[in-house]
Amino acid sequence: MTKKTKLILSAAACVAMFAFVIVADNFFGNFNLRVFNLCAIYIILALSMNLLNGFTGLFSLGHAGFMAIGAYVCALLTMSPAQKELNFFLAPIVPVLANVQLPFIPALVIAGLVAAAFAWLIGTPVLRLRDDYLAIATLGFAEIIRVVITNLQTITNGALGLKGLPKYSTTGVVWGVAAITAAFMLALIRSAYGRSLKAVRDNEIAAQAMGIDVAHVKIVSFVLSSFFAGIGGALLGHLMTTIDPKMFVFGLTYNILLIVVLGGNGSITGSVVASFVVTIMMELLRFLDGPLNFIVFKTEGLPGLRMVVFSLLLMIVVIYRQKGLMGTKEFSWDMLAAAGRAFRKGRGDSNGGSAC
């Protein structure tokens, strides 16, 4: 396949996706559109986690914390003073924040930057740790953020959460941001800097010996990942229009980790595909949480049963296909062509080998 054909195919795929987003925006029902937009947000979150876990080899579980920071910052910056007054009925909001109201895009960028700033602050001490220790430290950080948010009554409205966020997470916005994130990650991974990231992942000691400032590369990756996590959190908040500290528990990080592992730790296209699969399955399997009739026995509704399906799926992947869907490879047209040839060949053979 020539380079030109591939370019045309890629352009066609982009146009098709763009058209699909427009069609979805205009013709999907309310619920379906919401799930479809949730896919875009999970793409952003999965890509940001994959940058850290898959491309830099840092096992971090702090995503929910950075998302919470992003969501709260963006919400507080965009809500109208009147809406804030309605929310903060237990204790009034601090005066500095009471009258601030910014347009959505600047607020979104600031939300990402604040999350990134926190990442930079905790990065220096925490990134000295490796593997499980790093995971535990970042998980601890996420929990601290959640507890702090719960207790900062005059800034975050504590456990009551914030309600009535403006509905800024429209189809165009979430898919636009998802496209920018994907393009950014692809460009990063294929660049010289991306090679430095992968070198740190593959062999830290060798990377150091090749003149790569490992500590710096890790911080950059951590800060970038947190920036996109903050943006993803902010978009999620404006999609739900309600946020509270309980939203950002460890389970949220787990969902993103599930996507990254299923799609392939170190594959951008894998994360994108898995985001769709997991987000849609989460909704399709919702019936499992309700009352079930197995003929032999009946259940009265077991909330959380659908998560058992995902846990099983994760176990199967970990045992039989640790690489996930794509491994560290990326989808390419050559891969599709090869699969097509293999398929035709397989069918041809079963027909007596007449096809070429």
Residue 206 near other proteins by CB under 8 A: yes
| Nearest Cα residue to 221 out of 74, 48, 102, 40 | 48
Q: Which tokens sit at 56?
A: 């830099």
x/- track of binding to other proteins for residues 219-258 (CB under 8 A): -x---x----------------------------------
Which residues between 73 and 112 bind other proteins (CB under 8 A)? none
Residue 310 Cβ vs other proteins, minimum distance, rounded to whole Å: 27
From the CB of 351, what's the least distance to other proteins, in Å? 35
- Cβ(248)–Cβ(71) below 8 Å: yes
Q: Return the range that interacts with other proteins (CB under 8 A); candidates 63-71, 145-153, 194-202, 236-244.
A: 194-202
CB proximity list for 122: less than 8 A, separation 6 or greater: 141
Output the smallest distance, CB 205 to other proteins, in A: 6
With CA atoms as reference, report the closest residue to 204 among 61, 62, 54, 58: 58
Q: Does residue 195 interact with other proteins by CB under 8 A?
A: yes
Residue with tokens 């352009």: 11
Residue 208 within binding range of other proteins, rule CB under 8 A: yes
Q: Let me know if 350 is exposed, middle or buried by CB neighbors in 10 A (0-12, 13-18, 19+).
A: exposed
- Of 165 and 182, CB closest to other proteins: 182
The answer to the question of residue 3 lying near other proteins (CB under 8 A) is no
Question: Pick from 132, 202, 334, 349: which binds other proteins (CB under 8 A)?
Answer: 202
Residue list 158-187, contact with other proteins (CB under 8 A): 184, 187
Contact residues for 44 (Cβ-Cβ < 8 A; gap 6+): 177, 178, 181, 228, 231, 232, 235
212 binds other proteins (CB under 8 A): yes
Residue 14: Cβ within 10 Å count = 11
Q: Decide: is 119 part of the binding site for other proteins (CB under 8 A).
A: no
Q: Tell whether residue 328 is a contact of other proteins (CB under 8 A).
A: yes
* DSSP line for 309-341: HHHHHHHHHHHH-TTTTTTT----HHHHHHHHH
- CA–chain centroid gap for 104, Å, is 20
Does 266 interact with other proteins (rule: CB under 8 A)? yes
Residue count at the site for other proteins (CB under 8 A)? 28
Q: Of 274, 272, 227, 217, which Cα lies nearest the Cα of 109?
A: 227
Residue closer to other proteins, measured from CB, 14 or 82: 14
Sign of dihedral through CA atoms 52, 53, 56, 60?
positive
Q: Which is nearer to other proteins, 34 or 329 (CB)?
A: 329
Under DSSP, the state recorded for 242 is E
CB of 329 to other proteins, least distance (A): 10
Distance (Å, rounded) from C-alpha 67 to C-alpha 224? 13
Tell me the window of 107-115, 173-181, 213-221, 290-298 that interacts with other proteins (CB under 8 A): 213-221
Of 28 and 193, CB closest to other proteins: 193
Which residues of the chain form contacts with other proteins (CB under 8 A)? 184, 187-188, 191-196, 198-199, 201-203, 205-214, 220, 224, 266, 328
